[in-house]
Structure formats: structure tokens, C-alpha cells
Amino acid sequence: MEKVHQIIKRTAVVLFGIFLISSGLYFFLNSGLGLTPFTVMAEGISNTLGISFGQATTLINISIILGLFILTDSKFGPGTVLNAVFLGIFLDLIIWIFGSITTDLIFFQVLMLATAILLIGAGIATYISVDMGEGPIEALMIYIRRKTNFSLRSVRMSLDFSFGLIGFSMGATLGIGTIIAAATIGPVTQRMARLIKS
């Protein structure tokens, strides 16, 4: 019974972390200053296929997991699958509830961008704290790093560049927020992870 209780508790923590990330992506979408490199690709796919932003996010994540599962020896925790499925669901739900909150006032745009980065960093740190598996992008990053011996930083930068390029080629928009996201989400996540552990 105690084991079941622990599983339920850890799953709840993972889902809460994923909800924080989805909330952060919502603020990124509304800041008007650009998206994270991954969500630039999601926006491009959303525009091209005529599906919602959340559905595009889910499609990419599940495709990554299936690709790694079929073509490699990668193994995943339940948190990886939860991330792939619920990130897009939560994002679409938040958009449905709150709609658009875009503004032309630079102060509020910057505030939304900062809020987005903090929420995403806190969300990632939260769901990895219970050790139920990394997100699909992190799983891909770890696999590439293992096969190439490149540093995690180099692999992440290469993936971010590729995601941004794919999204841009599909009509998605890049902005200063894209560059800021690529440079700050990692350090913010690291800091949040330390706070959670302490």
C-alpha cells in the first residue's frame, strides 16, 4: 500500500511539473518576443497541418519517443510518456480557458517572457526531481550525446538550432525570446533543481 501511495505521489509531482512547463509555454506564446526553439518547430507544424499548438507539441514528443523506441535501445520512464502526452493537453487547456493575453507594451512582454522562463525551469526541475524519466527532448539529447561523445551543451545547442530552423522553414516566427530561452532555461532549471533538493 505504501508503494502504491508513493507511485501516486510521484506521478502527481510529475504532472504538476508538466503543468508548470505548459503554463510557461503559454506565457511564451503571448509575450510576442519569440518562442523556445522547440516550440518554434511546434508552431511551424501547427501552422502547416492546421492543428492546435498543443496537438503539434504532442505529435512531436510522441514521434521522438516512438523513433527512439523503434530505432534505438533507449529506455524510458513513465515520466517521459506522461510528459509527451500531457504537455500538449495542458497547453491546449490553458489556451482554451484564458485565451490570448498578448500586449504591445514592452514592459508586460518582458514580464511574460521572464515568467515563462521561470515556470519552465521550475517545471523541468520539479518533474525530474522524482526520477521517473526525462522529457522526450532530453531523452533524444542523451541518446545523441551517448552516440557522438559530444558535450550535452553542444548537443542541446545543435538540437535547438535544428528545431528553430525547421520551424522557421514552416513559417514560424523567431524572436529575441528564442535566443534568451536557449541561453537561460538551462541555468534556471539547474538553480530550481538545487532549491528543490535543499
Is pLDDT at 58 greater than 90 in this prediction? yes
Residue spans per domain, the chain: 2-197
Is pLDDT at 75 greater than 80 in this prediction? no
What pLDDT score was predicted for residue 27?
A: 94
More confident residue, 22 or 131: 22
Q: Distances from the Cα of 112 to the Cαs of 24, 26, 80, 90, 118, in angstroms?
A: 9, 9, 27, 18, 10
What pLDDT score was predicted for residue 49?
A: 92
When pLDDT is cut at 50, 70 and 90, the band that residue 61 belongs to is very high
Q: How far apart are CA 194 and CA 198, in angstroms?
A: 6
What pLDDT digit, counting tens, does each position of 88-132 carry? 999 999 999 999 888 888 999 999 999 999 999 898 888 888 888
| Arithmetic mean of pLDDT over the chain | 87
More confident residue, 72 or 27: 27
Q: Looking at the whole model, is its pTM more than 0.85?
A: yes
Q: Nearest Cα to 140, choosing from 52, 56, 80? A: 80
What pLDDT digit, counting tens, does each position of 83-92 carry? 999 999 999 9
What pLDDT score was predicted for residue 144?
A: 86
When pLDDT is cut at 50, 70 and 90, the band that residue 38 belongs to is confident
Rg of the chain taking only CA atoms, in angstroms: 16
